[in-house]
Structure 1
Amino acid sequence: MILFVLCISAFLFFICFNLLTNNKILHAITSIVFAVLFILSTFFITINFHDHYGMHKVSHETSNKLVSSADKGMNMLLYQPIGTSGKDKVVIYRTDEKATKPSHTGTDKVENKIITINSDKAKLVTKTVKYEYNSSANRLWFGLAQKPTRVKTINYFYVPKSWMTLTVNQAKQLPTIIKEISGSNTAAQAQMKMAAEQYVQAQVKAAMMKNPKMTSAQQKALVKKVTAEFTQKAQSESLQKMMPEIKQKLSQVK
């Protein structure tokens, strides 16, 4: 609306000032009125753009579940430092386990904070601060002049203590580091292999006692299932034991 007032007052001022000259009183009054309207319109448009006149700051908050930035394996949150200060970073994250590609935070008026929590559930809380019109009247007057403007966005990444927070370079080196540490402990590998065999045998024996008529195909399927279960559990426990050494080596990766 204010833009229309600006254009119309400028047009009418031009008409009255240049063409309405026969009646000097009417010429003076109309010229002054439309000149004042033009000046006031320009003034209010200026303070609307510069000082967000007619607007106020409003915060919008959304919350999403976080899943590991990596497709599989350990739970982790990845980030990439930007700039030279070391304070700014782009965080690479996922909120859906089915997502093939992770999302990443922006860099324009965006602040990312990674917070470690005691809970076992990771989440992303996004707080967006915008300038919005404080009344329908101001929206009517200035809506075409300036749209609601985003001031800043703050992303709070709440991650459990069991998660790893790694740079992209550290994540690339992680498989090599794990392989290096686990490969150096041959005794533990032999012990794990023996434990796996004993676990599988015990599970198959228990299943056979419940179902003596179990076929060969059923036995093979059971062996495959319990082997996968044991492997997953053993790998998780092994990683937890290696975690101090893994973190030490990761700290050396730039």
Structure 2
Amino acid sequence: AQVGLAQSGLCSFEVLQAMGEACPSGPVPSVAGTVGFRACVAAVGWIPATLLNIVLPVIALWRGDVALPNVMLSDVMASGPFYEAVYTWGFSISMVCVCFVFREASTFWRQKLPSLTPDVDRFVFLLYAFCAPCLLGLVAFQYKHDMSLHSKDFWELLLDYDFLFWALHCFHTSVFFLTCCAMAYIYGLRLSPALDAEGLTHPADKFWRSSGSWCILMLTPIGAVVRFFHLFVGTALWGILLVLVEVALIQMFVVVTFLGVARLMMELDVAEPMLDMTHIGWKRKSA
């Protein structure tokens, strides 16, 4: 089996390490793996986020549940109890998968790149202290419409629960996007080059990780500028531009998270299986 892997070029560091051998020469990108529990979580995690990010807003706009210029995902979430429930459930499921995938990946990074442990620690801290709580916060605090800021004077707004929910939603959303941008910097510009240099990255993972991280870093400041004009100008043009930037950003988060470590999850499933699906369910004992 070891010879077959080496001859076919599938020299996975983790696989050979589990077999008690080393790669033939120098750092070789990992490419071998299997679809185990970790890979299944990575495969499933992107589905609800993608559907909620791309498909459901189109349905809401087609049904007339939202209208320009207020067509952000936040407006779709707040357009009815059905949307609120679906977004809360779907984004929560995706975030559970995100935390699991990055927990497995960060353990691997820490083992293979001890010199970059501080960067790994910063990445994990941002994920659990800001990213995950703020995603739950932005789906938990809903509001009636995006222009609550202009409906009453300042003192009345302070006593308006709708404005309070709007402010909390905007706060959590802003922190979420800024945190994701900071994580993309650590992930794409600090950790990824070191992983590539050591031959610990599959070419497919490298492509999605690098391209997605750069897109996030470029789109985040653009999104902040567009949001400013959307909030204070409020024309249909800014609404369209904002929703395009927002959808692109969120989809890049999904791509970097799940496609950026897909092959790594498969390799970890080979080296150290986490769950044997054949053990799920009852088996009749042989007499």
Shorter-normalised TM range: under 0.3
TM-score, structure 2 as length reference = 0.23
**Higher relative CO (CA 8 A, sep ≥ 6), structure 1 or 2?**
2
| Greater Rg by CA | 1
TM-score (norm 1): 0.25
- From the two aligned structures, give the one with the greater helix fraction: 2
